[in-house]
Amino acid sequence: MTQQKRIVVTGGAGFIGSALIWKLNQQGISNILVVDAFDKSEKWKNLAPLHFNDYQEKDSFIKDITAGKYNNTIDAVFHLGACSSTTETDARYLALNNFEYTKQLAIFCSTNNIRFIYASSAATYGDGSNGYTDEESQMHTLCPLNMYALSKKMFDIWAFDNGLLSTIVGLKYFNVFGPNEYHKADMRSMICKGYQQIIETGKIKLFKSYHTEYADGEQVRDFIYVKDAVAMTLHFYAHRSLSGIYNIGSAATTSWNTLAAALFAALNKKTNIRYIDMPEILRKKYQYHTQANIQKLRAAGYHNEITPIADAIRDYVQNYLIPGNVLNAEKQKPSK
């Protein structure tokens, strides 16, 4: 991988963004421009142990792009920055931040022959009634359940209709979890939130089911460890002939009950689950089943083994949550 030109990571102080920088550092790459929007959260801590040579706020970055400052200086843009809150109700903000901003970046990269890899979302699949295939021809049939998901679908469709998906890559991340998500408040994974609940109360709270086909805690999701998600993402940097939409998931389903049991096991504690009412605002927007179809990813040459859920949770809990660690550029943590 070349370091002659700079790699840009938007959302670089965030969860997946900082994990991506960590992995680039492991590969000896530090010629990185981090683009983000610092706020009152503590996501800045994710960057503290990492190696990069510049930082810029997202608004000034897009202005500089428009002004031509970065022409012929960038090798690739990993566009991972977005408002990722599935409960955000400001539709205008989501349209501007997630859709319009991504359009500007995509046009800039396409015009300047820069590798562009962006984060779409598995939330675009809605309730899953139309399946979880990442074939571009099926995108128009998807019906998102919230405005965040719609903002992601809007760009996927725009990129497809304008022919950009023949050169750029969109990644539909499923339920990613792992170190460096501590700043995300309510949007943290259940592993992160559940760990805190167990430490404080000795039990974990899961939503009751409001679907007759699923018992309480038996709703299932496709959980993917952030280390695996990053490895999949970087596959598309290493193989520049690849383009289009790809699912980033484990291709397996795990129930909330199974996930909770694995979390208790990682802490060497007896499973203790309490089922609670789901907030009214979520009941009509809740996904009871997600499962990534990753045949297209495998056909694109990604053959790495995906970390089993119990092993991933154990690594996360014992090497990061218990000691309070973030991903550190100086050393590779064991995966099992």
> Cα–Cα distance between 286 and 226 in angstroms, integer?
23
Q: 3-state DSSP call for residue 245?
A: strand
> Cα–Cα distance between 111 and 261 in angstroms, integer?
50
Whether residue 28 contacts residue 1, with contact meaning beta carbons closer than 8 Å, is answered with: no
**37's tokens:** 């929007």
How far is Cα of residue 176 from the mean position of the Cα atoms in its chain? 6
The catalytic position among 101, 125, 148, 316 is 148
Strand order in the sheet with 244-248: 54-57, 32-36, 6-10, 74-79, 115-119, 169-173, 244-248
Assess whether 184 carries a catalytic annotation.
yes
| Interhelix angle 256-266/309-316, nearest 10 degrees | 50
Whether residue 154 contacts residue 95, with contact meaning beta carbons closer than 8 Å, is answered with: yes
DSSP 194-238: HHHHHHHHS-EEEEPP-STTS-TT--EE-EEEHHHHHHHHHHHHH
The catalytic position among 5, 58, 103, 184 is 184
**3's tokens:** 């370091």
**333's tokens:** 């943590």
- CB count within 10 Å of CB 129 equals 10
> Cα–Cα distance between 112 and 100 in angstroms, integer?
19
Assess whether 296 carries a catalytic annotation.
no
Among 101, 229, 106, smallest CA distance to 159 is for 106
Among 66, 69, 44, smallest CA distance to 55 is for 44
Q: Tell me the catalytic residues.
A: 148, 184
